[in-house]
Amino acid sequence: MKVIAINGSPRKGWNTAVLLQNALDGATQAGAETKLIHLYELNFKGCISCFSCKLTDGKSYGTCALADDLSPVLKKIKEADALILGSPIYFGNVTGEMRSFLERLLFPYLVYDTTYSSLFPKKLQTAFIYTMNVDDARRIAMGYDYIINQNHSYLQKIFGTSESLLATDTCQFNDYTKYITTAFDAEHKKRRHQEIFPKDCKKSFELGKRLIH
């Protein structure tokens, strides 16, 4: 079993990456071969609307024709048994790199037929881990769930399965005193990171184990 995790955060050692690594640790314990890929290390762009992936009898039908650092990653995903995505929420959505990645990942497999069927050749277990600075009340009030549910629907449509894990009210800084952060209670953030984030890590670990069974 092969499990690939995609980190859509520019920070390789912070909340999103830590949760993804915990998920991979869970998959490893269950016997999987795992790999963590950081999108911000890659040189790539989003869909350029060339429609080569939709061209009847075209050599790139069902495959993204762009050739860049993302191309081998997309190939690895096609060969994997499970895919775990992770992104912080920036201004109400996933990061720009994650959004560009999703365009390149999903669009080539989407068929423009009457049922919008999928060309992906098998069922792929997928999950999306989100981290966000806001608490659950503000998450709902600000409409984050629309984006989360939309991504869930896309992944389920293309790959057959999907689940989401949300880590809210996360800690953004090691030292809040170095920044203008009067909007936040630094002690609350520190305490929550100590008490709640480990529980989120455990949930991620169990998610990783669950995906390969």
Per-residue confidence of the chain (213 residues) as pLDDT tens digits? 899 999 999 999 999 999 999 999 999 999 899 999 999 999 999 999 999 999 988 889 999 999 999 999 999 999 999 999 999 999 999 999 999 999 999 999 999 999 999 999 999 999 999 999 999 999 999 999 999 999 999 999 999 999 999 999 998 888 888 888 888 888 888 888 899 999 999 999 999 999 987
Structure tokens belonging to residue 211 = 């995906």
CA distance 11 to 41: 10
Phi-psi region of 17 (alpha: psi -120 to 50; beta: other; left: phi over 0): alpha
Round to whole Å and give the CA distance between 164 and 204: 10
Domains within the chain, CATH numbers bracketed: 2-211 (3.40.50.360)
pLDDT at residue 176, rounded to an integer: 85
- How many CB atoms within 10 Å of residue 79? 8
| DSSP state, residue 80 | -
Predicted pLDDT of residue 179: 84
pLDDT of residue 127: 97
The whole-model pTM stands at 0.93
Model pLDDT, residue 97 = 96
Q: What is the distance between the terminal CA atoms of the chain, rounded to a whole angstrom?
A: 10
Integer Cα distance of 105 and 45 in angstroms: 12
Residue 147 buriedness (CB in 10 A; 0-12 / 13-18 / 19+):
middle
Orientation of helix 71-79 relative to helix 96-106, angle to 10°: 60
